[in-house]
Amino acid sequence: MSETIKNWYVVRAVGGKENKVKTYIENEITRLGLSDFVEEILVPTQKVIQIRKGKKYNIEKVYFPGYIMVKANLSGEVPHVIKSVTGVIGFLGEVKGGDPVPLRKAEVNRMLGKVDELAIQNENVVIPYVVGETVKVIDGPFNGFDGIIEKINEEKRKLEVMVKIFGRRTPLELSYMQVNKVS
């Protein structure tokens, strides 16, 4: 079979179900023997560190919620097969009854570059605290004390917490891991 030209398209999917929809599309394409027409299916994600109850969790967060990138030759039945998959809303940019619009080269390079950049980039930390919030110290010499967050230093990943010790307000510099939210 001669080499066909494949373009990148954006498929709109049900939010929060991108990876599941990607798997459904891959299974359907394989089942119908259309693998020659679809080269790659991509859900852009980024790694994020989330802190819950003093523990670090590495999670993958979808970078473009509700969208999946597909590199394919949309000829024949391929667009109809993709659209009929559970969780697929349709193609981005298509006119009602018209053909899906491929992404421009510049858009593809920017999006794929962003995906590579996110893979290489230092892990982002989602800061689960806000200034003015009450926290309980769970580590160190002031274990068990309650305090109020005065400042958040994102670079050092530290909090300045104002704690009352012997009736006096005393500032403490603590890491995110040394405190818990007070419900």
Using a pLDDT cut of 70, give the percent of the chain over it: 87
Is the pLDDT at 42 greater than 80? The verdict is: yes
Could you tell me if 138 and 149 are in contact, meaning their C-beta atoms sit under 8 angstroms apart?
no
Full set of structural domains in the chain with CATH: 7-126 (3.30.70.940), 134-181 (2.30.30.30)
Is the pLDDT at 11 greater than 80? The verdict is: yes
pTM equals 0.59
Tell me the pLDDT tens digit for each residue of 114-146. Answer: 665 555 555 555 677 889 999 998 888 888 999
Give the model's pLDDT for residue 2: 47
Give the model's pLDDT for residue 106: 80
Give the model's pLDDT for residue 3: 57
